[in-house]
Structure 1
Amino acid sequence: MTVKKEYTEGRTTFLSADVDHYSGDKKQPTTSLPVFYNPRMQLNRDLSVLFLTAYMEKYAVEMVCEPLTGSGVRALRYLNECPGDFYAKMCDANPLAVETAQRNVETLGFGDRAEVIHGDAKLLLMTESRGKRFDFVDIDPFGTPAPYLSAAIQSISPKGGLLAVTATDMPVLCGVYPKVSLRRYGGFSARTPFTHEIAIRLLNGFIYSVAGSNDCSMEPLAVLSTDHYIRTWVRIEANRTEANRQAGELGIIRYCLGCMHSDILPLSPKVQSVDFDHKMEGCTGPIRVAGPLWIGDLFKESYLNDTIKILESGDTEDYHRKALDVLEKMVEESVLTNRPYIDIHALCDLHNLAPPKNQIIIDKLKEQGFAVTRTHFKPTAIRTDATVEKVTKIIAEHNAR
């Protein structure tokens, strides 16, 4: 018999397997849970509720699908906390998860707005969308989302729909297993101080490639990097003309281990012959290359601002304490995602400098006319159009005082 526990997230109360009971000494969820639920993903789900609400202000959403539902918490929160009377199809291959999700649906009174199906996620996406395509698909697997993306994109309405994708196979995406990254996501990962941004760009690049193979375009709306996972929200639409244009948003990122300079190059037949400018005199450090990956925008600023308004107009206590701060940092950095962020602590370690507070560096760069912002990716990092050499000089001058 499954030991269950009642949880509350946002404005939604539901049952799931007791994480503390089954996790033992590990103190965190594992795949051995009879019904999977990860409390550490609350920020992910909070932002997902807010992002879907913001999306619904501009686009009609009638059919939602969560093909890897577990306890059903994600779809349940959409039903309970987002406006409208859309219908949700939930699926899981685990019969205990289906039983738990169905009980939660009935307890919350959504029996006429939700259907819980026992079966394979990919099969559900392809078969359950035959009558009516989905307006929103949420892929939140344990590990890589790669096997589900083709079916997910094909299940979305050709008029356009929202696709949210989580990836937790971070060693693959962060450069530990670059060949596995190439196999799963179509590009090499690399170990760099901004490795989580590379991970996001690899995921978005793969989504674009799968969408493009189905004559669809992909518009990034937001990305999230925190804890042990990354997540992206994109709008998929049947538009081969736009998809052709977006081919120019694929490229590579190069990074020097010696001076920490990085550059972004669009894919072209001559990309390998472009010389690397180290930006630091005498540096001949080895170069790491990541990609092909997405080199275009990661955020849509207006979408983020709409989301913040929704958050501030309601009861902020319903959401994770970090939600507003993360959204505000996303807005800031949305105008400077044409180059990777700079990790100040990594830069200081390289040059044997004491890292000052980020705000000191930000103020100094602004005084000298550079654009600079915080980033939600890492508390010790900034985004700026200044070179790493300039940032290093500012830190060294501050240390010399």
Structure 2
Amino acid sequence: MTVLKRYTEGKVTFLTADVEYYTAETGQPTSDMPVFYNPRMQLNRDLSVVFLSAFMRDRDVERICEPLAGSGVRTIRYLIECSGNFEAVMFDTNPEAVEIARKNVAMNSLESRASIIKGDARVLLLNESRERRFDFVDVDPFGTPVPFLNAAIQSMLPRKGMLALTATDMPVLCGVFPRVALRKYGGLSIRAPFAHEIAVRLLIGRAVSIAGLNDCSMVPLASLSTDHYVRVWLRLNVSRSSANILANNMGIVEYCPDCMDVRMVPLGDLGAESVLEHRESCVSRTRVAGPLWIGPLFDEEFLRHAVDVAGDAAHLTRRARKIIDLMMAEQELATVPYVDLHALCDSLRLSPPPRQDVADQLAAMGYRVSRTHFRPTAIRTDAPVKTVRAVLKRLNRET
């Protein structure tokens, strides 16, 4: 018999497997739990509620779907914390999870708005969307979302829908298993100080590629990297011409592990001479990640809506607010990978100066600089890496 516990998250109280009881040996939730629930993913759900509310600022949402529902807490939070009277459909293959989710729906008096169906998510996404497609689909698996992408895209409303994807297979996406990344995500991953951004771009690239197979385009609205996962929110548009244009945002990332210079190259420009600004002492071969998404990671208007929603959400955690603010700050410069100042200092055998000192000097030279939510020791800037190196050396000489 499953040991259950009552939890409260956001504005929702719900039942699920007792996390403390089932993680006594491992120390963290695993897929072996009778009903999977990970309290550490609350930030994911907090931001997801904000972003669905932001999406609804200029769109009517009538029907949403969570294909891998577990205890149902994510969807129940959407129903209670987002405005509107939309309906929700949840799927899960685990009969115990389905039963618990139904109890949670009843506990929160949502029987008229939510339904839970036992079965394979890929089959049900297509079956349950034949007559009415979904405005929003949220795929939050244990591992990779790739197996569900095609069905999720086909289940969504054309020219209107939003797709949210979570990936937790970070060793694959961050360069530990690059060939597995190639197989699952269609591109090689690499080990680099900005590996978490590569992870996000590989995930977006895979979604864009599969959307293209369905004569659709997808553009990122927001991208998140934190803790042990990455997550993206994408807007769908059914248009062959848009899909063809977005193909220009697919490319590779070329990186020198010696000097840490990096460039993003569209697939159409492959074969052109490398313009990496190596130091003369560089001896390492450059590493290549991709094919992957090399376009923007955020949509400014969408983030403005999210900032407004967060301002009105009294229950939102301070950490979630900070991440949204950082996303807003970095969105304009998120067209090239961030620069990890500590990693760059390590390569130069320098002591890391205060991040703000580096930012001030770059700004005085006319470059744009912002913080990034990806890493607290990193910045985004349009300054070349060699210029950042020069600033770091100068600051070290002055101390």
Both proteins in one fold, TM over 0.5:
yes
SS in structure 1 at match of 2:203: helix
Q: Deviations over 1:57-79 (max 9, x none)?
A: 11111010001000001000000
Amino acid at match of 1:38: N
Distance 2:278 2:56 in 1: 45
> What aligned pairs does 1:113-132 form with structure 2 within 5 A after superposition?
113-132=113-132
Distance 2:156 2:256 in 1: 40
Distance 1:11 1:132 in 2: 29
Tell me the TM-score normalized by structure 1: 0.97
Does the 8 Å CA contact 2:277/2:386 hold for their aligned counterparts? no
> What aligned pairs does 1:259-298 form with structure 2 within 5 A after superposition?
259-268=259-268, 271-298=270-297
Does the 8 Å CA contact 1:167/1:229 hold for their aligned counterparts? yes
**Alignment match, 1:385:** 382
Distance 2:297 2:200 in 1: 9
Query: Would you say 1:371 and 2:368 are equivalent positions?
Result: yes
Tell me the TM-score normalized by structure 2: 0.98
Query: Would you say 1:334 and 2:331 are equivalent positions?
Result: yes
Shift of 1:314: 2.9
Q: Deviations over 1:345-374 (max 9, x none)?
A: 100110100001111111111111111110
SS in structure 2 at match of 1:323: helix
Does the 8 Å CA contact 1:333/1:373 hold for their aligned counterparts? yes
**Alignment match, 1:146:** 146
Shift of 1:250: 0.3
**Alignment match, 1:173:** 173
For the aligned residue pairs, the C-alpha RMSD in angstroms reads 1.0
5+ long unaligned stretches in structure 2: none
Amino acid at match of 2:363: K
Q: Deviations over 1:36-92 (max 9, x none)?
A: 000000111000000000101111110100010000010000001001111100010
Query: What is the aligned length?
Result: 398
Distance 1:345 1:151 in 2: 42
Distance 2:73 2:98 in 1: 12
Q: Deviations over 1:5-44 (max 9, x none)?
A: 1111111111110000000132211111110000000111
**Alignment match, 2:225:** 225
Query: Would you say 1:305 and 2:304 are equivalent positions?
Result: yes
Distance 1:277 1:46 in 2: 40
SS in structure 2 at match of 1:198: helix
Q: Deviations over 1:86-116 (max 9, x none)?
A: 1100010001100000000011000010001
Distance 1:267 1:228 in 2: 30
**Alignment match, 2:73:** 73
Structure 1 stretches (4+) deviating beyond 3 angstroms? Answer: none
Q: Deviations over 1:270-316 (max 9, x none)?
A: 5134224234344343200000000011100111111111111231x
Match of 2:391 among 391, 394, 399: 394
SS in structure 2 at match of 1:132: coil
Distance 2:195 2:313 in 1: 35
Distance 2:316 2:209 in 1: 34
> What aligned pairs does 1:98-137 form with structure 2 within 5 A after superposition?
98-137=98-137
Amino acid at match of 2:218: M
Does the 8 Å CA contact 1:122/1:152 hold for their aligned counterparts? yes
Does the 8 Å CA contact 2:256/2:278 hold for their aligned counterparts? no
Does the 8 Å CA contact 2:34/2:97 hold for their aligned counterparts? yes
Q: Deviations over 1:102-131 (max 9, x none)?
A: 000011000010001111110110100011
Amino acid at match of 2:220: P
Amino acid at match of 2:171: P
Distance 2:69 2:213 in 1: 27
Distance 2:209 2:249 in 1: 11
Distance 2:239 2:118 in 1: 33
Distance 1:19 1:31 in 2: 12
Distance 1:7 1:27 in 2: 18
Shift of 1:392: 1.5
**Alignment match, 2:234:** 234
Q: Deviations over 1:240-288 (max 9, x none)?
A: 11111111000000000110000010002x5134224234344343200
Distance 1:392 1:211 in 2: 40
Does the 8 Å CA contact 2:178/2:188 hold for their aligned counterparts? yes
Shift of 1:234: 0.4
**Alignment match, 2:355:** 358
Between the aligned residues of both structures, percent identity stands at 54
**Alignment match, 1:346:** 343
Distance 1:347 1:289 in 2: 19
> What aligned pairs does 1:75-94 form with structure 2 within 5 A after superposition?
75-94=75-94
Distance 1:206 1:132 in 2: 26
